Amino acid sequence: MYKYFSEKDYQEIANEFRLGKIVSLWRFKKGYQTPKVVLKTFRGNFVVSRHRISERKDIISKSSKSLAYEIDFLNTVRDLPVPHHIPIQKGNYILNFKGCAVTVYEFLPGTPPKKITPKMAHALGAFLGMLHTRGKTFHKSLEGRRKFYDLTLKIVKKMYKVAHRQRNPLLRSLVDEVRIGVEKNRPSRDLPCGPIHVDIKPENELFAEEKLTGIVDFGNFYIGPYMIDFGKMGMWNCVRKGRFDRKLFEEMRRGYESKRKFSRAEVGYIKKSILFAIYSHIFVDLYHVPLKYIPESYAVFLVKEFLPAARRLEENSNEF
């Protein structure tokens, strides 16, 4: 687990960002790879993140260029309810502090939802449609940016060798099924592409009652097919205990298309977007388990929560 700074350190950080004297401080319970705290000062409330920065090509490390790339994108879509970072000085949003990279953004109100209603699903879809529309103006590329779900056949083959090293009999028995699901439902290269979040799920969503107030954690964003984003959001918000909520998904789709219309190719891929979201997420984490990046128990949760929904969708050829 990556440690938090001391309260004295956080005051020094607050001084660097000209936030003023800290009145109170509390820690987020999640996000142990990037520990976050909320500082309350007389200027307002701010989220301070401590990042693990390294040029190593592993699954945990992130380069300073990659972090700056995320902030550049967020600045492009500042009119949306996303983190608004505070600069130390003009054009510089990253503080090097005690061997770490520190960023600060304005606190977003709201809480993660315990249940998604149709109204909330519509709001999420509309947000994603706006994100994809606004993101068209972001043309920067970054060599080496990790693309979690750009699963070419070559990458799948490489990951399969690691994923098959499961100690848990249940997980080991599913590796081949999940791999086939990934290969059958991969997005084609002719689907429209742009910046995608890839991780819009309840813990990264903020609502005040049924009003969407924020989407956070753009740490895995990259340039890829928009339908990966749409499928991932559908997976996390419209599947519960192995069952896919078609009505909730359709409301999410209506919200999306109120801001951005799907192309003909995208419409034909909608069902596969959900299947790929489920199979790819499980496959990536089956790869992570032997590397000890995620606990085995989390992969088991994913399998029990989402795989039955994928199987039902596969069996129902009339769905969508």
Angle at alpha carbon of residue 291, lines to 280 and 188, rounded to 5°: 20
Return the pLDDT at 63: 85
Return the pLDDT at 61: 61
Among candidate residues 199, 185, 245, 152, the one with its CA nearest the CA of residue 34: 199
Domain chopping of the chain, boundaries: 7-106, 118-315
Return the pLDDT at 59: 55
Q: Return d(Cα 294, Cα 281) in angstroms, integer.
A: 12
Residue ranges in the chain modelled with pLDDT below 50: none
Task: Find out whether 306 and 235 touch, Cβ atoms under 8 Å.
Answer: yes
Return the pLDDT at 146: 86
User: Which CATH fold topology does 7-106 show?
Assistant: Phosphorylase Kinase; domain 1 (3.30.200)
Q: Return d(Cα 9, Cα 95) in angstroms, integer.
A: 13
Q: Return d(Cα 121, Cα 248) in angstroms, integer.
A: 6
Among candidate residues 289, 30, 237, 26, the one with its CA nearest the CA of residue 122: 237
118-315 is classed CATH 3.40.50.300: no
Return the pLDDT at 2: 61
State the pTM of this model. 0.94
Return the pLDDT at 75: 96
Return the pLDDT at 60: 56
Return the pLDDT at 47: 97
Sort residue 99 into left (φ over 0), alpha (ψ -120 to 50) or beta.
left
Return the pLDDT at 143: 81
Return the pLDDT at 210: 96
